[in-house]
């Protein structure tokens, strides 16, 4: 049984005596997709202040080429305002050198490859071979490598886990999986079984509103038909690792997008993950 913490989920919920798992508390949640997707194009310090104002204390850092010059400023701003640099998207030599310099070891999130091959065994071996060098580099930094579902063969839970286990079998026990609701609309009906498979290796679970056929793909938590039941399944499973909420809307202020997700998640938790829109 994982530990739970009674937290105030806003003034409107305090009277209900709401109890929620620790990893769903505001200051445990991981903000995701808020750098290149922020319509306000905040500076590193402005972004850290924004997270602090929302009650968020963790961030997974996504980036584009124009952000490379501010990698160090981002690390310094998070440290200044008490934000945990939880994860880093992809690979970049400058970032890796800075992690060593500043003595931080964020998770490294990398899309699981979808290699060609005649058999499942060949594909798993090829994907593991592609990732092996990065797994070694992550270990040297003290980081975990998170295989990220982003569509294709490599986004299927069975394949993610097969590649993860192949790397572990090669001695890379710092490898796990990062699973995203917004890249898994085709797996809604299978989520309970998928979570059971993923859970032993899950490094982070990123939430999203979920409607069939990804209509739309990005939707605030609490506005879809299926995420309430999926979140209820997560809580019932006892998963106690990181939970992410995202922006991923380039025309929207990240503060507005994150607040929408926070408000929706609070409501679902207060309702036991069973809103009136749930089928």
Q: Is the pLDDT of residue 278 over 50?
A: no
Record the tokens describing residue 181, joined without a space. 């609701």
Q: How far apart are CA 182 and CA 222, in angstroms?
A: 14
- pLDDT tens digit sequence for 39-62: 999 999 999 999 999 999 999 999
- Average pLDDT of span 230-255: 97
Record the tokens describing residue 245, joined without a space. 């909420």
What confidence category does residue 179 fall into, taking pLDDT thresholds of 50, 70 and 90?
very high
Largest Cα–Cα separation, the chain: 59
CA distances from 218 to 59, 155, 211, 222 (A): 19, 17, 9, 12
Task: Look at residue 272 in the predicted model and tell me its pLDDT.
Answer: 77
Q: Please state which of the ranges 16-25, 166-175, 228-237 shows the lowest mean pLDDT.
A: 16-25
Record the tokens describing residue 122, joined without a space. 């060949």
- pLDDT tens digit sequence for 249-260: 999 999 999 999
Place of tokens 């999130």: 109
Q: Please state which of the ranges 8-17, 172-181, 245-254 shows the lowest mean pLDDT.
A: 8-17
Q: Which of 244, 202, 237, 203 is nearest to 221 (CA)?
A: 244
Residues contacting residue 90 through CB under 8 Å, at least 6 positions apart: 63, 108, 109, 110
Task: Look at residue 4 in the predicted model and tell me its pLDDT.
Answer: 34
DSSP state of 149: -
- Average pLDDT of span 148-155: 97
What confidence category does residue 14 fall into, taking pLDDT thresholds of 50, 70 and 90?
very low
- For the chain, the average pLDDT equals 92
Q: How far apart are CA 2 and CA 187, in angstroms?
A: 26
The verdict on pTM exceeding 0.95 is no
Q: What are phi and psi of 255, to 5 degrees?
A: -65, -40
Task: Look at residue 19 in the predicted model and tell me its pLDDT.
Answer: 72
Q: What are phi and psi of 30, to 5 degrees?
A: -105, 120
What confidence category does residue 10 fall into, taking pLDDT thresholds of 50, 70 and 90?
very low
Q: What are phi and psi of 132, to 5 degrees?
A: -60, -45
């Amino acid at each position: 049984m994982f530990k739970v913490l009674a937290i105030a989920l806003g003034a409107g919920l305090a009277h209900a005596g709401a109890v929620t798992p620790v990893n769903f508390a505001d200051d445990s949640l991981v903000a995701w997709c808020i750098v290149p997707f922020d319509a306000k194009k905040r500076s590193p310090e402005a972004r850290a202040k924004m997270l602090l104002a929302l009650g968020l204390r963790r961030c997974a850092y996504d980036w584009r080429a124009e952000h490379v010059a501010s990698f160090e400023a981002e690390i310094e701003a998070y440290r200044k305002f008490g934000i945990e640099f939880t994860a880093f998207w992809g690979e970049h030599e400058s970032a890796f050198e800075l992690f060593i310099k500043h003595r931080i070891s964020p998770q490294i999130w990398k899309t699981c490859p979808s290699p060609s091959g005649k058999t499942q065994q060949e594909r798993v071996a090829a994907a593991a071979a592609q990732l092996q060098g990065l797994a070694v580099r992550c270990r040297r930094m003290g980081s975990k490598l998170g295989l990220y579902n982003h569509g294709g063969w490599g986004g299927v839970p069975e394949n993610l886990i097969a590649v993860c286990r192949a790397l572990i079998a090669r001695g890379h026990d710092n490898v796990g999986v990062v699973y995203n609701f917004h890249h898994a609309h085709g797996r809604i009906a299978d989520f309970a079984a998928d979570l059971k498979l993923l859970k032993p290796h899950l490094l982070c679970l990123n939430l999203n509103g979920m409607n069939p056929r990804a209509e739309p793909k990005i939707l605030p938590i609490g506005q879809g038909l299926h995420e309430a039941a999926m979140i209820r399944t997560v809580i019932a499973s006892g998963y106690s690792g990181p939970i992410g909420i995202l922006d991923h809307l380039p025309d929207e202020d990240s503060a507005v997008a994150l607040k929408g997700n926070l408000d929706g998640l609070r409501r679902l938790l207060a309702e036991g993950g069973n809103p009136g829109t749930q089928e």
